[in-house]
Amino acid sequence: MLHAVVVVVALLFSIFSLILWSAGMVRGGGQLDGLAYSAHWFGLGASAAALVAILVLAAWLMLTNPALMAFGIPLLVRIALFIGTLFAVLTLVSVPLVLFLWLRGAWSVAGRLHFSLAVAMFLLLALVFWYWNLLPF
């Protein structure tokens, strides 16, 4: 039950983050300096990767017979596993960026808090992916 809650909250948080960070890039993303600008892109990439990985895995589970895994891993699942791995790497790279943003005060307090919560949520989701053996490490 807890895993389902983490996945649903991560899905909703990813959608919210994609909308918010995309609007921030359009509105004034060019005014950020180097690492703050990178944090914007890492947050956007992690949100998109989490959203796609969750949706692709959910679609595969709902539309196919899980017994087909006995005959090899389907292409859709391989893609989801690759995107999940990309998501985990982006999340791990985002952890030091949280520290950087708080130490330098690069964004507003609300922006730093949102990024910190997003990275914490993505770390929980990465742990769920790892528990479900969806990550290669």
Mean pLDDT per 10-residue interval, the chain, length 137 residues: 84 84 65 74 84 83 74 80 87 89 86 88 88 81
What are the start-end ranges of the H helices in 29-74?
Answer: 34-63
Chain centre distance of CA 14: 7
Choose among 125, 128, 58: nearest CA to 91.
Answer: 125
pTM attached to this predicted model: 0.78
